[in-house]
Amino acid sequence: MSLLSKFEAQKRADQVKAFQDELALLESDRVLSLNNEQAQSVSAYHQNLLTQYSDDFDIDQGQREKQLSLGMRIASFLGALALAASVFFLFYQFWGKLSTTSQIVILITGSLATFVATLLVAEKEKTGYFAKLVGLVSFACFVLNISMLGQIFNITPSDNAFIVWGAFAFLLAYACDIRLLQAAGILCVIAFVSARVGTWGGMYWLSFGERPENFFPVAMLLFLFPHFVNHHRYWGFAPIYRVFGLLCLFLPVLVLSLFGRTSYLPLDTDVIEGLYQLAGFVLSAAAVWWGIRKHWKETVTTGNTFFVIYLFTKFFDWWWDIMPKYLFFFIIGLTAVLFLLIFKRLRAKGFFDFAEAKA
């Protein structure tokens, strides 16, 4: 049982529920009928399996439980953000009234106490909702710890702080299986790598956002990272890496396709914008194809979204000023219909089945 992840246990439970529903339909249509011994054996096996999964992973056994779990995840996320903000403003409310020694003790003690509390809560509480709350508070305390200690000892701000913050976020994320902290760690890695690339280009590290191409290296790093590191035990971690990697690719490409002057390329602005417009279509289409091939739904969704954004942006650039608005949106609608027909034809010809078979 320990070899399973929570995601695999939930998937198996959903399969059991689907099997039970289908069996009931088959019996009602008199297609298949199990004798009493077989029915009792199957029912007992499934009940024991679901009970064991519920005890080990706290899975959702029905649609109502799934709906409640979604609400709990939303409440946990909002509560975590609120508590982290509360800690932040609490520090600044009373910080100036404390001595330097008291400030140092509070910073170190707060970070250590919340870190230990996160580990204890994650061990005792199976759902992970409260671990997420305490974990984000611990991360907020750690960020304040590094920032305030830097101010107390007059340390020059540096992009190296992102590495320390990211390492702490990843430590808690992997130790307690908290995807929210994984996302926080990824954001720190994005900031560090992009800032470091910017400094290699002669920029001040805080100005790395002025050159969108600074995000391309970290985009490749994040997208490929799950390929080299096995995340079997950490459900949902690999898709988050890929989504952030694609965002670090597609968003800069979108900006550069509109504002070519922000590029490093020593070319005419119109040429740069044209190149990145073409790159946007090619890369987003490639993401859709690769996502279908690898069964990565998040990659397909992200690629589709940005392909539509690039297309609409191009239509706007071509026709918004020279075309009546009703005609502009009529063309957008016809384009959507065209894509529907293309996807329908590809599905009818088995294109997607072929892609799955090749995977």
Running DSSP on this structure, what letter comes out for residue 359?
-
Q: Are residues 99 and 181 in the same domain?
A: yes
Sequence-distant (6+) residues with CB within 8 A of 61 are 13, 17, 50, 54
Q: Are residues 216 and 359 in the same domain?
A: yes
How would you label 183-208 residue by residue, b for 16+ Cβ within 10 Å and e otherwise? bbbbebbbbbbbbbbbeeeebebeeb
Q: Are residues 124 and 178 in the same domain?
A: yes
- pLDDT at res. 286: 94
* Cβ proximity of 9 and 15 under 8 Å: no
Render pLDDT for 29-74 as a digit per residue (tens, 0 to 9): 888 888 888 888 988 898 888 888 877 777 777 777 777 777 777 8
Sequence-distant (6+) residues with CB within 8 A of 287 are 246, 299, 300, 302, 303, 306
Running DSSP on this structure, what letter comes out for residue 156?
P
Residue after which a domain boundary falls, among 176, 202, 228: 202
54 occurs within a structural domain: yes
**CA atoms of 356 and 155, how far apart (whole Å):** 54
248 occurs within a structural domain: yes
Query: In this prediction, what percent of the chain has a pLDDT beyond 70?
Result: 92
Res. 254: pLDDT tops 80: yes
Q: Are residues 231 and 333 in the same domain?
A: yes
Identify the H or E element spanning 85. helix 63-94
Domain span holding position 221: 211-359
Number of domains the chain is built from: 3
Q: Are residues 77 and 35 in the same domain?
A: no
Q: Are residues 345 and 217 in the same domain?
A: yes
Q: Are residues 4 and 131 in the same domain?
A: no
- pLDDT at res. 1: 38
66 occurs within a structural domain: no
Q: Are residues 185 and 246 in the same domain?
A: no
Render pLDDT for 328-348 as a digit per residue (tens, 0 to 9): 778 878 887 887 787 777 666
Within 10 Å of residue 19's Cβ, how many Cβ atoms?
A: 12
Read off the pLDDT of each residue in 244-251 and give the average, rounded to a whole number: 97
Give this prediction's pTM: 0.80
- pLDDT at res. 185: 96
Residue after which a domain boundary falls, among 37, 61, 85: 61
* Cβ proximity of 103 and 144 under 8 Å: no
Q: Are residues 167 and 85 in the same domain?
A: yes
Q: Are residues 161 and 248 in the same domain?
A: no
Q: Are residues 108 and 7 in the same domain?
A: no
Residue after which a domain boundary falls, among 11, 42, 61: 61
Res. 222: pLDDT tops 80: yes
